[in-house]
């Protein structure tokens, strides 16, 4: 008998306000200052189009033997509590049902697993686990990291936190000749690998009239599952697929309604993830590279594929020292912010653009992010006893940043703070460094923007790139040490 393990990702971020202006509100009310007023509007629309009608269908099917799993981010639960408690109550009914299972993830659906260590990642997973117990009365046994981001270190971490299994993508370059339709093990934890072809048939191709399998019906899909070799099939999609990404008039709700019936007609049995995790692993896998379910690359490039994304990721990690309000700091870690900064081409670019608020361009999203992060850090710096050090190390918005030029052109490198300047000086082209040294640009920027006259004078006295690097690095270490 074929088996189907069906999972739904339920997530809404706190999108940043592209019209952010520090003059529009008071510093004590940073959440309303930083985050878009459209978040409420979007949440209510998705609740009406997807969460309520789709969950009503799921609840009816659960009573008839259908099984599935939900992974709700902490940020979507917060929004449902504030703006649509009626939809949240339906998810509570699902959570109480014997045929449904809730998964664990990072509370803020964040990029914390891409940080230099997993301390913040583990903390957010524990926050989420406690929230699922508090709000829904259940303690998840299986987890899925943000967008299925996964590697050996994450597997080991999940095992140490007591999870029986972790979801990730069935990536061919990892599986090789193997099939995703088996359970594997990795660093002490069971591995549930998504069959992305069948998942994407629903999530992306359902409404594609150019697809040779259009239209996709419940009976057709059920027959594909029934004929799939292996121990079981993992299908995992964004819940917003049903009614939001594909509107009801496409037939997507009928597909959801009739899929359990058609599967039963073909002898397909439904499994919950914890039940799938009881299947004997086919073999042990080692996944050293970071993989995910995002884009055709299925790696971390959806969030770390260009220099502005790397800049933002480094900046949010350093901002921990400024996190007097850790909730906002963690809202700024949500993966969506980094996803909007991606600069990809073709079909991947279309998907990124679809999810980006107002179809903002990557650099526009980055500029908004850095403006808000810079304001957040500046607000903290004004309150700390070590104000001078905090102000000098803070992240800068684009208008304050140092842009590296050669005598004829922009190099593509920009320093959004003293840390960035110190790092970039090691590999920015020689002619650019010499150009700025001859003009006194480094010392002028350090004095005018960072406010450190002493360091500016020391840099002005340097004769070589190496001397500049050594002087700035020494000062940077001293400043960070004073903040600890």
Whether 256 is covered by a domain: the verdict is: yes
Number of domains in the chain: 2
What percentage of the chain carries pLDDT values higher than 70?
Answer: 95
Last residue of a domain, one of 276, 292, 308: 276
Rounded percentage of the chain residues whose pLDDT exceeds 90: 91
CA-based end-to-end distance of the chain = 59
Give a yes or no: residue 306 inside a domain.
no
* pLDDT for res 383: 81
Residues 415 and 268 in one domain: no
Categorize the per-residue pLDDT at 349 as very low, low, confident or very high, splitting at 50, 70 and 90.
very low
Same domain, yes or no: 255 and 401 = no
Does 16 reside within a domain? yes
Residue 115 placed within a domain: yes
Q: pTM for the whole thing?
A: 0.94
Which of 226, 245, 276 is the endpoint of a domain? 276
Instruction: Return the pLDDT at 352.
Output: 43
> Looking at residue 137, which CATH number applies to its domain?
3.20.110.20
Under a CB-based contact definition with an 8 Å cutoff, are residues 260 and 61 in contact? yes
What range does the domain containing 418 cover? 386-484
Q: What is the pLDDT of residue 467?
A: 97
Reported as a single tens digit per residue, the pLDDT across 179-237 is: 999 999 999 999 999 999 999 999 999 999 999 999 999 999 999 999 999 999 999 99
Predicted confidence (pLDDT) per residue in 187-200, tens digit: 999 999 999 999 99
Q: C-alpha distances in angstroms, 395 versus 111, 197, 390, 411?
A: 19, 41, 10, 21
Please indicate, yes or no, if residue 372 is contained in any of the structural domains. Answer: no
Please report which confidence band the pLDDT of residue 136 belongs to, taking 50, 70 and 90 as the band edges.
very high
Residue 461 has pLDDT above 70, yes or no: yes
Q: Evaluate whether residue 350 is within a structural domain.
A: no
Identify whether 172 is a catalytic site residue.
Answer: no
Domain boundary among 228, 248, 276: 276
In the set 101, 120, 144, 147, the catalytic residue is: 147
Residue 318: inside a domain, yes or no?
no
Q: For residue 324, what pLDDT band results from cuts at 50, 70 and 90?
A: confident
Q: Does residue 171 belong to any structural domain of this protein?
A: yes
What values do phi and psi take at 155, rounded to 5? -60, -45
- Pair 231, 109 in one domain: yes
């Amino acid at each position: 008998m074929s088996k189907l393990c069906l999972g739904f990702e339920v997530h809404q971020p706190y999108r940043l306000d592209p019209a952010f202006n520090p003059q529009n509100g008071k510093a004590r009310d940073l959440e309303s200052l930083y985050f878009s007023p459209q978040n409420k509007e979007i949440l209510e629309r998705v609740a009406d189009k997807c969460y309520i009608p789709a969950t009503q269908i799921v609840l009816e099917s659960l009573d008839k033997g259908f099984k599935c799993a939900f992974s709700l981010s902490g940020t979507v639960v917060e929004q449902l509590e504030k703006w649509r408690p009626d939809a949240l109550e339906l998810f509570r009914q699902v959570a109480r049902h014997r045929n449904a299972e809730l998964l664990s993830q990072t509370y803020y659906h964040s990029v914390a697993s891409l940080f230099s260590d997993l301390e913040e990642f583990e903390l957010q997973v524990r926050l989420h686990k406690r929230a699922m117990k508090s709000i829904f009365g259940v303690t998840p046994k299986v987890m899925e990291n943000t967008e299925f981001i996964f590697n050996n270190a994450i597997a080991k971490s999940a095992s140490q936190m007591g999870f029986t299994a972790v979801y990730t993508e069935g990536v061919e370059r990892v599986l090789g000749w193997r099939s995703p339709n088996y359970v594997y093990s990795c660093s002490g934890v069971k591995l549930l690998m998504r069959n992305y072809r069948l998942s994407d048939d629903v999530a992306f191709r359902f409404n594609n009239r150019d697809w040779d399998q259009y239209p996709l019906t419940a009976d057709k899909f059920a027959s594909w599952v029934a004929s799939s070799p292996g121990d079981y099939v993992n299908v995992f999609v964004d819940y917003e697929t049903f009614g939001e990404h594909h509107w009801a008039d496409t037939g997507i709700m009928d597909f959801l309604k009739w899929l359990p019936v058609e599967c039963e007609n073909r002898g397909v049995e439904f499994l919950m993830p914890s039940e799938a995790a009881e299947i004997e692993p086919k073999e042990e896998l080692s996944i050293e590279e970071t993989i995910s379910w995002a884009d055709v690359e299925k790696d971390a490039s959806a969030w770390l594929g260009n220099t502005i994304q790397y800049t933002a990721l480094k900046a949010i990690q350093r901002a921990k020292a400024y996190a007097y309000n850790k909730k906002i700091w963690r809202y700024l870690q949500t993966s969506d912010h980094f996803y909007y900064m991606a600069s990809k081409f073709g079909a991947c670019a279309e998907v990124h653009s679809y999810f980006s608020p107002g179809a903002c361009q990557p650099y526009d999203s980055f500029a908004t992010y850095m403006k808000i992060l810079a304001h957040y850090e500046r607000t903290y710096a004004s309150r700390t006893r070590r104000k001078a050090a905090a102000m000098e190390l803070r992240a800068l918005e684009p208008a304050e940043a140092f842009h590296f030029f050669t005598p004829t052109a922009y190099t593509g490198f920009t320093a959004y703070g003293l840390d960035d300047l110190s790092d970039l000086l090691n590999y920015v082209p020689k002619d650019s460094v010499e150009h700025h040294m001859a003009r006194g640009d480094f010392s002028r920027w350090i004095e005018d923007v960072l406010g450190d006259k002493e360091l500016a004078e020391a840099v002005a006295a340097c004769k070589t790139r190496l001397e500049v690097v050594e002087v700035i690095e020494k000062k940077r270490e001293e400043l960070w040490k004073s903040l600890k």
